[in-house]
Amino acid sequence: MDAGALFVLKSKEIGSWVHCGYHLTTSIVGPPLLSLPFAFTLLGWAGGVVSLAAAALVTFYSYNLLSLVLEHYDQMGRRQLRFRDMANQILGKYIHVHFFFHTDKFYSYSACATAAAIHIGTSSSSSPPKEYSVPGDDTADRLFGVFNAVAIIATTCGNGIIPEIQATVAPPVKGKMFKGLCVCYAVVLAAFFSVAISGYWAFGNRAQGLVLSNFVDSGRPLVPKWFVLMVNVFTILQLSAVAVYSKFDCWQVYLQPTNEVLEGTFGDPKSKQFSARNVVPRVLSRSLSVVVATVIAAMLPFFGDINAIIGAFGFIPLDFILPVVFYNMTFKPSKRSLVFWLNSSIAVVFSAIGAVAAVAAVRQMSLDAKTYRLFANV
């Protein structure tokens, strides 16, 4: 067992359903929600609300199934700490789930984004002209836009560390993850719908991939400059705090899958968790990964497009498809049961959606690449 896994297991004695709710919430509610108004522009009012509600419902259901599968293997003495471990155990040793994107989050800026959108929308002097028609030159454009939006919503609802979170729960586990998910989704629904609806209402189909960009129109701030600065500072501080905090956090539930690779490569399971042998490589390797990610993010001015690609290639398979497949393969429900057919339907439908969304996301980025340049100030 590598150093990362051992450090996760050290938290087992203190994890409660409150811890579950906190970590689930902070691992879902994050910067991708700032793309939700843009997703609504591609779907319209009805399509946006229905798609966001459906994504929240399906992920809530799939995360509960995933928790049951994890608990089942734990009771059998085969505890699963990561999606990769689950894939090895359930699907076979030649099939792995590699997922390299996870942003740990806090959601104070969602309230700021909502407040700013409402202020701009209600101000006759600063409110931009609004149009709620779905953009697109033809049916194909609008159809690809729909799948692009679905992929963005999938990213917003995605969570890549359910196994790590459940691994920190003190026994007995039964019921704690469900309570934590209930707490999490109470916050998720409030944050997601407030930002999505207020942003789309305020800017219509002019909402950009990052709704914060709408707060400045042709160089003119639509809200006080200090407010724009405050929202951006909140976002930067949140991301920076998590990057630093997760280096020393004894629970280790915030480890991104990429950091797991770093932990396994540079960590020493025989040394103490906070010994110089483990702390120094961890700080250096994770700092370097944060710097690289920051440079790439600044280089590509496609916040909404990148969210769509991550959703199509990462979160749709990981959070919409694999949990129901894991459940059916683990518990083998009767083929006449509602659960079997519901899970099978979810897997088939979202596999098709994911395939088309992947094409739509790559297509949209290639189109936008003709407009922007690297490190563009947008």
**pLDDT by residue (tens digit) across 32-78?**
888 999 999 999 999 999 999 999 999 999 999 988 888 888 777 77
Selected residue with higher pLDDT from 124 and 160: 160
Element (H, E) at 216: strand 216-217
pLDDT at 374: 74
Selected residue with higher pLDDT from 234 and 149: 149
The full set of domain ranges for the chain reads 3-369
From CA 326, how far away is CA 332, in angstroms rounded?
A: 10
**DSSP collapsed to 3 states, 50-72:** HHHHHHHHHHHHHHHHHHHHHHH
Question: In sequence order, what are the residues at sequence separation of 6 or more whose Cβ sits closer than 8 angstroms to the Cβ of residue 67?
Answer: 162, 166, 173, 177, 178, 181
SS3 275: coil
From CA 162, how far away is CA 318, in angstroms rounded?
A: 11
What is the average pLDDT across 192-208?
92
Please state, in angstroms and as integers, the Cα–Cα distance from residue 214 to each residue in 108, 174, 281, 301, 340, following that order. Answer: 19, 45, 40, 14, 45
Identity of the residue numbered 236? I
What is the average pLDDT across 184-190?
90
pLDDT at 91: 65
Lowest mean pLDDT across 195-199, 295-299, 318-322: 295-299
Question: In sequence order, what are the residues at sequence separation of 6 or more whose Cβ sits closer than 8 angstroms to the Cβ of residue 330?
Answer: 69, 72, 73, 90
pLDDT tops 60 at residue 291: yes
pLDDT at 49: 95
From CA 296, how far away is CA 290, in angstroms rounded?
A: 10
pLDDT digits 0-9 by tens, 85-118: 676 667 664 444 433 343 334 446 677 778 878 8
SS3 350: helix
Spatial contact of 194 and 110, defined as CB atoms under 8 Å apart? yes
What is the average pLDDT across 290-314?
79
Confidence band for 219, pLDDT divided at 50, 70 and 90? confident
